[in-house]
Amino acid sequence: PLDKEELGNATWGFLHTLASYYPEKPSKIEADNMVKFFNIFSQFYPCEPCAQDFQEDIQKNPPKTKTREELAKWLCDRHNTVNEKLGKPLFDCSKVHERWRDGWLD
Ligand code: FAD
């Protein structure tokens, strides 16, 4: 089985990539479905304490799915909430597409 760290690392990779490739201008159906995706994801994420806290966090801060930019920023903020809880460094959200879509520009 995956441990909590490996599962988390792989899952964030998937989620940030998903957000970075989400349409720049999604249809209403796509936007509604992405809200549903995060709600369902948080229900079934296979780490119980993680899922519990994430569900509470996204109830307070519902998914922003009107544009790719907004979704990527929203998800980055959610990840930073977890980083903060775990005592990990916060990520600079202006670099989210560089990290997860375009590759580091250096
Ligand atoms: P990760 O935090 O997994 O990050 C992977 C990579 O993402 C980093 O190397 C960095 O390049 C990039 N990154 C970092 N921050 C951001 C950001 N804000 N935006 C974009 N990219 C970023 N673990 C627990 O112990 N308790 C929990 O309650 C818990 N809740 C979780 C909830 C969710 C929804 C998920 C997906 C994971 C959760 N985890 C939890 C796991 C935890 O967040 C880490 O994934 C795990 O500790 C491994 O950390 P890591 O150092 O490999 O980096």
Summarised one tens digit per residue, pLDDT across range 8-49 is 999 999 999 999 999 999 999 999 999 999 999 999 999 999
Place of tokens 């999604």: 26
Q: Give the homologous superfamily in CATH for domain 4-99.
A: ERV/ALR sulfhydryl oxidase domain (1.20.120.310)
Q: Compute the distance from residue 12 Cα to the ligand 1 centre, in Å.
A: 6
pTM for this model (two decimals) = 0.97
pLDDT of residue 92: 97
Atom 12 in ligand 1: residue holding the nearest Cα: 91
Phi, psi of 21, deg, nearest 5: -105, 5
Segment 62-74 shows an average pLDDT of 98
pLDDT at 106: 67
- How far apart CA 34 and CA 30 sit, in angstroms, is 6
Provide the pLDDT for residue 53: 98
Q: What are the residue boundaries of the structural domains of the chain, listed by start?
A: 4-99
User: Probe ligand 1: pick from 9, 12, 47, max atoms within 8 Å of CB?
Assistant: 12
pLDDT band, very low/low/confident/very high, at 105 (cuts 50, 70, 90)? confident
